[in-house]
Structure 1
């Protein structure tokens, strides 16, 4: 087996781990199997994840839930810096209405969760903080502020939105093999219907 680890990176390891999870389930992921898939010795993975599988699981959860290239770093971010970056608008273009921005975020978040649905069980116990995830949270809270929410209600509304997106995907994946399960278009329509109802109820 190759000892040339020059092309090995955290992101490459995470993506290959997600491929294994998609094919074999979470229980089918082992460091040895992952090393075989990457054509490296398993110990090479520990160079990037010295704390082992739990650290890898946290990285997978961060990758799945964080938009943007690489899913965001796993370093502890500066919350104020992330919030400040989220408030910056490129150029002089007027931002879309708050509900359209939240809808776009929710649909992108749903699509990412569906793409990596094999790792959904990891998200029940892990909510990694990354620069991308904090920036996204700041954007959601900013949009909710424009809708008229303030104080604790903003965080409560953000929690409701995240819970709805995750719950809707779990429900769809859980029932997708049933004979009367809705097709992809109908599942998306149902998601949009529920999201509109939730946004209307928030304001």
Structure 2
């Protein structure tokens, strides 16, 4: 681990001193003796980070590890199960992040701030993997991305309810929070050139850009320098603060008995 770069985005691997909690992969050439499910998942994450999701096949992953593809099937039945494992492994990196807490021991806003930045660190460390986190069918179909781990959803709901939110308000908070995170982080990784949907082919985007007459958009051309600035960190923080302010209103409203409520 290197010293953090004070000029880098604080949630980026550079801003964290290279601290991307990637699961260790089996050393190249380690053969079957170096394999287990955890190391295979680590190698799959490493492969996707370097080559993109569409390039991942069991055969290529086997070659990446120095083994035949058949050797992998002892630990993962196929590519679909491999992708499920990758999502689980990446989200589980939150457990190794010392700045993310499982409970709201310092208040619900502190809890949500820490969790949001932990997820953003995952997206920035693994931008090629994050769309998979956002789109992979979850174990429970009602769980919204990017919190694919049922343990983290449970932690979230418990933290909100323990902080005074009603169950309905806690669910509303989860929906608003997950929508904010998913929308912002998918947009952010897409700005890095990551494919986030089946229709988003880089070649098609390139051809479309060449066919566009920029003369029709003089303001865009004039403001190119400003539009090209990367304000992701500041925009993330501002949007998060706005969300927390809205949830403060939700909390106050949930504590106000409704007219006609027998509990009033």
Distance 1:32 1:175 in 2: 30
Distance 1:176 1:182, change over 3 A: farther
Higher helix residue share: 1
Q: How does the TM-score come out when normalised to structure 2? A: 0.59
**Contact between 1:102 and 1:143, CA under 8 Å: does it hold in 2?**
no
Structure 1's unaligned 5+ residue stretches are 70-85, 90-94
Provide the C-alpha distance between the structure 2 equivalents of 1:198 and 1:35, rounded to a whole number of angstroms.
44
1:173-184 aligned within 5 A: 173-176=189-192, 180-183=227-230
For residues 117 and 61 of structure 2, the distance between their equivalents in structure 1, rounded to whole angstroms, comes to 31
Q: Could you tell me which of 174, 178, 181 is aligned with 1:158?
A: 174
CA distance in structure 2 between the partners assigned to 1:105 and 1:2 by the alignment? 37
Distance 1:181 1:57, change over 3 A: farther
Kept after mapping to 2: 8 A contact 1:64/1:113: no
C-alpha distance in structure 2 between counterparts of 1:153 and 1:97, whole Å = 16
1:48-59 mapped onto 2 (5 Å cutoff): 48-50=75-77, 52-59=78-85
- Deviation, 1:181, is 4.1
Partner of 1:192: 237
Higher relative contact order (CA 8 A, sep 6+): 1
- 3-state SS, counterpart of residue 114 of structure 1: helix
Task: Write the distance in 2 (CA, Å) between the matches of 1:44 and 1:27.
Answer: 21
Tell me if structure 1 keeps the 8 A contact 2:84–2:136.
Answer: no
TM-score by length of 1: 0.75
Question: Matches of 1:181 and 1:15 in 2, distance apart?
Answer: 34
Counterpart in the other structure of 2:47: 20
Cα root mean square deviation, aligned: 2.7
Unaligned 5+ runs, structure 2: 1-27, 97-101, 141-147, 194-223, 249-264
- Bigger-Rg structure (1/2): 2
Equivalent residue runs for 1:59-78 within 5 Å: 59-66=85-92, 67-68=94-95
Cα offset for 1:127?
2.5
> 1:62–1:127: 8 Å Cα contact kept in structure 2?
no
Residue in structure 1 matched with residue 220 of structure 2 by the alignment:
none
The number of residue pairs the alignment matches comes to: 176
The answer for the alignment partner of 1:100 in structure 2 is 110
Is 1:112 paired with 2:122?
yes
